[in-house]
């Protein structure tokens, strides 16, 4: 049998039949559908016109994370319609208001390796860090999926990315994601899968992997998937309390075949990288933080599905413990989920950040999508741990957004300028001083398979 | 099938946030329409003007970024007839095709002058620019996308909805029904 990539194996496992004669596209049954208040609301009226019910409400993983809480009457109306729709369709509402859908998904036992997951949001790709096929789509595709249980997809070719070397304490998933985009280019992976192989000594922590998988779509990829290994196994054991896989997913761990065909390969020595920043506007200019012009910043945003996890908030606390944010700089901290929020309450991270002057918000998408709680004005400069620095993304089209890891972002909050975070840390801080995170597991694997 | 119209030229890596900023996210089509191109530098005015019958002609990776379908819907509400780009971002191309708009790729597309008249011959798979004597190949569409286009969108193809009327005649949905 011809050797196959991980994505090919994940999709072929579910392939039903070509949809039209001569087409490369297949109807693919979906295990889980991710949705949230904004993009599901767009399909409700058309859904009702079809006069049918959701094919399987138990497979709907619907959060409310965009307009939460609503900042305008119109958004309150959108949210209400969404919640009413869920109720009418008997979709479980246990996830509403608990944080960002993508983060909730990977914290939940309903998300298992080997699944096909489609979501009404481009950052659905993040679940690929757990060894699933996960991809984002628009509302019409999701509408059809909710009615039929299937999506129509081609099987993308894969780009293989090998991480080697040893990850320094001051380097994070965001830095690695930016390095990948720097090498591939913004559209460098359109209609491709990114297949990540963690061959580093010590392993890349799960939370950093999530940031990498999350930003697969910023290179244009259909999906990004990490090869399941010891790091994933440890994460799942901790997450599910040893409950093991869901029924039907016991043997679902899939790894690529030896000799699988890749259209391109990258090899990234994580030990040779410096902290990176993406310069404002798009993802075409990614440079080392120490080479970036040391611009004065007005706001630092630590949050989003790409940079609001415990690892990120802990890194910010490393920089800011016993220190104050630079005068006049707004530091907005938005934990990605309530689990992250509660862990930060328990282990003192919020004390550190709050004493440093941070404004801490409820778990939601918030400033990342220009929704609320941290928009920027014309001419303002923001360093953000989110995934997009596009013009107008976080407010005024004339505001400037830099992307960076939370360590780099916190260093900018501390100094008031964009800088290399290693400049502001001593050795103890570089190593971290919150030894055991108490929730949202982020173990480092001893040895990666 | 041929689509002829005045080109609206755009560049490379034009993302959904500049095509349709999230502050115009709404269930009210008037709000959605008014957001078209409102963060695309230099295009704010043309975005607000009557674009009936126009063909958007863009560079590489057009429509990268968000899955928000309001961005795709804004093209239809503005009256855009078709999108042709050197290459299209994946989610965006699905979104506009699903809504019944023609979206095709022309890998050899050079930079064209603003407002030039273009002809998309979808039957023969050619992009023709008569005044520049250009006749370029379009990347053949997968038969599935041809079927979606012929049906007027994904939902009509799957028998899940009536096809939406095309272009400027698209009814404007005004918020709470």
Question: What are the DSSP calls for B10-43, one per residue?
Answer: --SS-BHHHHS-GGG--SSHHHHHHTTTTTSTTT
State the pairing for strand pair A60-62/A116-119: unpaired
Establish whether the linkage from the previous residue to A69 is cis, with ω within 30° of 0.
yes
**Encoded tokens for A74:** 């119109």
User: In the prediction, which pLDDT does A242 show?
Assistant: 85
Out of B27, B99, B147, the one facing A20 most closely (by C-beta) is B147
**Encoded tokens for A84:** 């009413």
Out of A20, A49, A388, the one facing B17 most closely (by C-beta) is A388
DSSP string, A114-161: T-EEEESSGGGGGGGGGT-EEEE--HHHHHHHHHHSEEEEE--EEEEE
**Encoded tokens for A362:** 């409820």
Question: CA of B68 to nearest chain A CA: how many angstroms apart?
Answer: 6
CB contact at 8 A, A365 and A371: yes
Q: Which A residues, 381 through 400, put their C-beta within 8 Å of a C-beta on chain B?
A: 388, 390-393, 397
Whole-prediction pTM: 0.95
User: In the prediction, which pLDDT does A432 show?
Assistant: 61
User: In the prediction, which pLDDT does A448 show?
Assistant: 36
Q: How confident is the model at residue A145 (pLDDT cuts 50, 70, 90)?
A: very high
By CB atoms closer than 10 A (0-12, 13-18, 19+), residue A319 is buried
User: In the prediction, which pLDDT does A431 show?
Assistant: 64
Residues of B in contact with A393 (CB under 8 A): 17, 21-22
User: In the prediction, which pLDDT does A252 show?
Assistant: 80
Residue A424 sits at the chain B interface (C-beta within 8 Å): no
User: In percent, how much of chain A has pLDDT > 90?
Assistant: 89
What ipTM does this complex have? 0.94
Provide the residue ranges of all domains of chain A, joining segments of one domain with +.
Answer: 6-270, 274-431
Strand, helix or coil for residue B6 = strand
Domain architecture of chain B: domains with CATH: 2-169 (3.20.19.10)
User: In percent, how much of chain A has pLDDT > 70?
Assistant: 95
CB contact at 8 A, A422 and A275: yes
The dihedral built from the CA positions of residue A7, A12, A16 and A19, taken in this order, carries a sign that is: positive
The 10s digit of each residue's pLDDT in A98-139 is: 999 999 999 999 999 999 999 999 999 999 999 999 999 999
Are A187 and B26 in contact (CB < 8 Å)?
Answer: no
Are A38 and B67 in contact (CB < 8 Å)?
Answer: no
The 10s digit of each residue's pLDDT in A19-32 is: 788 889 999 999 99
Are A41 and B69 in contact (CB < 8 Å)?
Answer: no
Residue A120 sits at the chain B interface (C-beta within 8 Å): yes
Reading phi first (left if > 0) and then psi (alpha if -120 to 50, else beta), residue A220 is in: left
Residue B28 sits at the chain A interface (C-beta within 8 Å): yes
User: In the prediction, which pLDDT does A426 show?
Assistant: 79
Residues of B in contact with A24 (CB under 8 A): 142
Tell me the C-alpha distance between A340 and A310, whole Å. Answer: 6
Question: CA of A257 to nearest chain B CA: how many angstroms apart?
Answer: 26
User: In the prediction, which pLDDT does A428 show?
Assistant: 67
CATH topology of domain A6-270: Aconitase; domain 3 (3.30.499)
For A9, the enclosing helix (H) or strand (E) is helix A6-12
The DSSP symbol for A256 reads: P
Residues of A in contact with B176 (CB under 8 A): 77
The DSSP symbol for B162 reads: P
Phi and psi, residue A198, nearest 5°: -90, 100
The 10s digit of each residue's pLDDT in A183-220 is: 999 999 999 999 999 999 999 999 999 999 999 999 99
CB contact at 8 A, A217 and A125: yes
User: In the prediction, which pLDDT does A247 show?
Assistant: 87
Strand, helix or coil for residue B120 = strand
Domain A6-270 shares a fold with domain A274-431: yes
Tell me the C-alpha distance between A428 and A45, whole Å. Answer: 56
User: In the prediction, which pLDDT does B93 show?
Assistant: 98
Q: How confident is the model at residue A282 (pLDDT cuts 50, 70, 90)?
A: very high
CB contact at 8 A, B155 and B99: no
Question: CA of B144 to nearest chain A CA: how many angstroms apart?
Answer: 6
State the pairing for strand pair B2-9/A400-404: unpaired
The 10s digit of each residue's pLDDT in A403-436 is: 999 999 999 999 999 999 999 987 667 666 444 4
The DSSP symbol for B104 reads: E
Question: CA of A208 to nearest chain B CA: how many angstroms apart?
Answer: 21
CB contact at 8 A, A30 and A117: yes
CATH topology of domain A274-431: Aconitase; domain 3 (3.30.499)
Are A78 and B147 in contact (CB < 8 Å)?
Answer: no
Residue A144 sits at the chain B interface (C-beta within 8 Å): yes
Given a cut of 60, whether residue A440 has pLDDT beyond it is: no
Out of A220, A388, A390, the one facing B89 most closely (by C-beta) is A220
Tell me the C-alpha distance between A337 and A63, whole Å. Answer: 11
Instruction: Note the helical H segments in A294-386.
Output: 310-320, 338-346, 349-356
- Taking CA atoms, what residue in B is nearest to A193? B90
Q: Residue ranges of chain B with pLDDT lower than 50?
A: 167-172, 174-177
Are B13 and A136 in contact (CB < 8 Å)?
Answer: no
Q: Which B residues, 101 through 140, put their C-beta within 8 Å of a C-beta on chain A?
A: none
């Amino acid at each position: 049998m011809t050797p196959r990539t991980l994505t090919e194996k994940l999709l072929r496992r579910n392939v039903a039949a070509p949809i039209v004669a001569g087409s490369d596209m297949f109807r693919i049954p979906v295990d889980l559908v991710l949705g949230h208040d904004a993009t599901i609301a767009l399909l409700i009226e058309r859904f009702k016109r079809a006069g049918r019910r959701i094919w399987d409400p138990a497979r709907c993983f619907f959060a409310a994370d965009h307009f939460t809480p609503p900042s305008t009457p119109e958004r309150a109306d959108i949210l209400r319609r969404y919640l009413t729709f869920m109720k009418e369709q008997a979709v479980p509402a246990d996830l509403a208001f608990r944080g960002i859908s993508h983060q909730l998904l990977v914290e939940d036992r309903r998300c298992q390796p080997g699944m096909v997951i489609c979501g009404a949001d481009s950052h659905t790709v993040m679940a690929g860090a757990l060894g699933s096929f996960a991809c984002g789509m628009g509302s019409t595709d999701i509408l059809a999926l909710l009615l039929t249980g299937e999506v129509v997809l081609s099987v993308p070719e894969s780009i293989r990315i090998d991480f080697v070397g040893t990850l320094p304490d001051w380097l994070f998933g965001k830095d690695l994601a930016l390095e990948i985009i720097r090498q591939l280019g913004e559209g460098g992976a359109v209609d491709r899968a990114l297949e990540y192989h963690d061959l580093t000594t010590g392993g890349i922590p799960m939370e950093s992997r999530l940031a990498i998988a999350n930003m697969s779509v910023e290179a244009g990829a259909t999906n990004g998937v990490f090869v399941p290994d010891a790091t994933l196994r440890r994460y799942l054991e901790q997450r599910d309390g040893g409950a093991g896989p869901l029924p039907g997913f016991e043997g679902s761990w899939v790894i690529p075949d030896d000799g699988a065909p890749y259209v391109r390969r990258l090899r990234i020595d994580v030990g040779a990288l410096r902290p990176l920043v993406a310069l404002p506007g798009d993802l075409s200019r990614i440079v080392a933080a120490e080479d970036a012009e040391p611009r004065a910043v007005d706001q630092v945003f630590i949050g989003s599905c790409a940079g609001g996890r415990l690892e990120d908030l802990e890194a910010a606390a490393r920089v800011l413990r016993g220190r104050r944010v630079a005068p006049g700089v707004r530091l907005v901290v938005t934990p990605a989920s309530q689990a992250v929020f509660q862990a930060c309450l328990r282990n003192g991270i919020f004390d550190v950040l709050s004493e440093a002057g941070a404004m801490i918000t409820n778990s939601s998408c918030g400033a990342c999508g220009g929704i609320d709680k941290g928009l920027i004005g014309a001419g303002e400069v923001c360093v953000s741990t989110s995934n997009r620095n596009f013009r107008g993304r976080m407010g005024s089209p004339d505001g400037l957004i830099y992307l960076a890891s939370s360590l780099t972002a916190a260093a900018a909050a501390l100094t008031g300028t964009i800088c290399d975070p290693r400049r502001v840390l001593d050795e103890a801080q570089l190593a971290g001083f919150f030894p055991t995170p108490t929730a949202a597991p982020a173990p480092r694997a001893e040895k990666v398979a | 099938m041929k689509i002829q119209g005045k080109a609206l030229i755009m560049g490379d890596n034009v993302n959904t946030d500049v095509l349709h900023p999230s502050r115009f996210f709404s269930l009210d089509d008037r709000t959605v329409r008014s957001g078209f191109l409102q963060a695309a530098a230099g295009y704010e005015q043309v975005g607000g003007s009557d674009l009936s019958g126009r063909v958007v002609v863009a560079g590489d990776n057009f429509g990268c970024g968000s899955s928000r379908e309001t961005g795709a819907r804004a093209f239809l509400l503005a009256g855009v007839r078709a999108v042709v780009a050197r290459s299209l971002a994946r989610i965006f191309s699905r979104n506009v095709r699903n809504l019944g708009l023609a979206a095709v790729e022309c890998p050899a597309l050079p930079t064209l002058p603003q407002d030039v008249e273009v002809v998309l011959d979808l039957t023969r798979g050619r992009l023709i620019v008569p005044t520049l004597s250009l006749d370029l190949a379009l990347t053949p569409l997968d038969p599935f996308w041809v079927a979606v286009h012929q049906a007027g969108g994904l939902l009509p193809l799957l028998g899940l909805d009536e096809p939406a009327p095309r272009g400027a005649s698209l009814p404007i949905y005004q918020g709470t029904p």
